[in-house]
Amino acid sequence: MKKTSTLTIAMAASEALPYAKSGGLGDVTGSLPAHLARLGHRVLLFVPYYRETRSRFPHLARALEPIDLPFPGHEVRVELLRHEPSPGVTALLVREDAAFDRPRLYGTPDGDYWDNAGRFSLFCRAVLAGLRELGERPDVIHVHDWQTALVPLYLRHRPDLAGALAGTPSLITVHNLAYQGLFPRSALAYAGIPEGLFQMQGVEFYGRLNLLKGGLLYADAITTVSPRYSEEIRTPAFGEGLDGVLRDRSAALHGILNGVDYEEWNPETDPRLAANYSAAAPAGKARCKEEVQRIFGFEPDPSIPLFGTISRMVDQKGFDLLAAAMPRLAEMGLRYCLLGSGDRRYQDLFTDLARRHPGRIGVHIGYDDGLAHLIEAGADCYLMPSRFEPCGLNQMYSLRYGTIPVVRAVGGLADTVEHFNPARGSGTGFVFRDYDLDGLLWAVREALAAFARPADWARLRANAMSADFSWEAAARRYADLYRELGRGARERRRG
């Protein structure tokens, strides 16, 4: 670790804005590097060069000559392309078209790509090889989720891949423990994992290879994306079979709440909105609501509460509960709009619900960034009844836009939304505890009752818009943790 306060941080992620995004991971890895750089640090961000990335950045210069990476029985040639998205951040995009030039990042609505273990082991090797070829010796290597979890393992157990980087502190952030990178044992060699690590105390998981488990075992530190989630995942209810590993590593586990990029998510300046507005001058929100109603085929009416959701359509996000609730919600005098994609069964189910409840339920399958911003601005309430939620970002976007979250008290939702108390005028949303239909309907009725009281609604909206979840505090906590890891690495070398 350098004696100065400036750090060089290598970060590796399977997605990051502005290059590629499928969910909240892309938001976080797009924002955190820039905020670390604003604190004076230098960030090298590694991301695959997907088809989606090429469509946005078709002409990028090489960072260095192509690199030949060893694989069982052959070599794979990769290119590193360079881009500077913001001051102090250098993005290094790993290009290998057979692996990454595909219609989607990880798979199709019918399932993951069969060769994801090979695709992302290639990416992890390219991260280490790229750092070596560039002559970089970062103070810490920070990786995200299972797709990059092999980097800490390689640093510990593949000296041929790590080279001079062996001993560099590593940190893994778990954005969602449900996604672990599970593959058959036959993927072990292709992933570059020594056979001796396939055991209960290693990467074996009920007879299968678990890439995330490798990262949890071999990284020097683990973070999750909210304090509450860091506690939950050490229990059987939320640990996804890895709670024992996480309890064993409790001393290395930290919960750091994700932040929001308020330059990107700001109703006063957002260019995607029908009208801009602020807490002091909220009139533009009504214009945004009118535009959302029009887009979803609703007759504009400011008196009818409009609920919205922008989400991956998967069990985690509570879509089984939402599906069960929709007929009841349609009878409660509200309107509901959904922007999302995911499991085909949910896409088909909600498309059918919209067909059967015209004027009450509207659905747009897919992702549209402009429409996502407009829904955040135009809805009165944001519905997020997650089965579990490591952090969640949309509830924090909603708060800034004066769109009141209706959420379940789990993970980051519990850390960021306080139930409204009309007697005290405190709180920022509506929170229910149990994952069941009664709890969800109770919270919606509470929201509708408050909406019918204009003074309470104005107070609630003002509370929500004053909540501050900016990235600066999180970036400082990460920088402190990087320094702590550096001190530990120096002590190990001296010992």
Q: What is the pLDDT of residues 413-442, one digit of tens each?
A: 999 999 999 999 999 999 999 999 999 999
Q: Report yes or no: 316 and 343 within 8 Å, Cβ to Cβ.
A: no
Please list the helix, strand and coil fractions of the chain in percent, rounded to the nearest 5, in that order. 40, 20, 35
φ, ψ of residue 250 to 5 degrees: the values are -55, -35
Which one, of 437, 420, 482, lies nearest residue 141 by Cα? 482
The pLDDT tens digits of the residues spanning 359-414 come to 999 999 998 989 999 999 999 999 999 999 999 999 999 999 999 999 999 999 99
Q: What average pLDDT values come out for the chain (495 residues) when binned by 10 residues? A: 73 97 90 96 98 96 95 92 97 97 90 94 98 97 98 97 96 96 94 96 97 98 97 97 98 96 95 97 97 97 97 94 94 96 94 96 94 98 97 96 98 98 97 97 98 97 96 95 87 65
Contacts for 73 with CB less than 8 Å, ≥ 6 apart: none
Architecture of domain 283-468: 3-Layer(aba) Sandwich (3.40)
CATH 3.40.50.2000: which residues of the chain? 8-259+472-494, 283-468
List of E strands, 107-227: 107-108, 111-112, 140-144, 170-174, 182-183, 204-205, 208-210, 221-224
| Host H or E run for residue 307 | strand 306-313
pTM of the shown model: 0.91
Selected from 3.40.50.2000, 3.40.50.450, 3.40.50.1370, 3.20.20.70, the CATH number assigned to the domain covering 8-259+472-494 reads 3.40.50.2000
**What tokens does 471 get?**
């990235």
Q: Report yes or no: 191 and 118 within 8 Å, Cβ to Cβ.
A: yes
Q: Which residues of 217-243 are buried (b: 16+ CB within 10 A; e: fewer)?
A: bbbbbbbbbbbbbbebbbeeebbbebb
Residue type, 171: L
The pLDDT tens digits of the residues spanning 164-203 come to 999 999 999 999 999 999 999 999 998 999 999 999 999 9
Q: Which residue has the tokens 């969640």?
A: 392
